[in-house]
Amino acid sequence: MKNKLSRISLFWKIWICHILIYFPIRALFFLFQLDEAPDFTQIIKSILISPFAGIYGLFDKFPLVILIQMLVMFFVNEVISSKKVIPYLLITFATHILFYAFDIYDIDYFKSFLYSFIIFLPLFLFIFRKNIKN
């Protein structure tokens, strides 16, 4: 199993982690903002559907924003820097700040992003702790 994982590039590992961990966290924040408390089946459905909703851009109010982020990160990695983890964090955070600055996000969306990202960040840094310097 470890041999198979080592063949996947760090770029794809980062974005798979983003899709499979960050988007479910973000979905839970949206789910708990509803007027009525969600039940267990709604939580499970939300977690299972969230990667698809995230890729489509439902959490960002901007369709397929993840593809734009991936392209920018690929460009940064190829042209400017070979580091992978720090550019990912900067690009993700900068994208959402720009969304807020250009009124795509209101303050509630931005808060939801911040809370989700703050929960996701320690998990992400733990997973990629060996790659932070690379």
> What does the pLDDT look like over 113-129, one tens digit per residue?
899 999 999 999 999 88
Inter-CA distances, 96 with 6, 87, 110, Å: 31, 14, 7
Find, among 133, 90, 103, 121, the residue nearest to 26 by Cα: 121
Q: What is the pTM of this model?
A: 0.87
**Out of 3-12, 18-27, 56-65, which region has the weakest mean confidence (pLDDT)?**
3-12
Query: In this predicted model, what pLDDT tens digit does every residue of 46-71 receive, in sequence order?
Result: 999 999 999 998 888 888 899 999 99
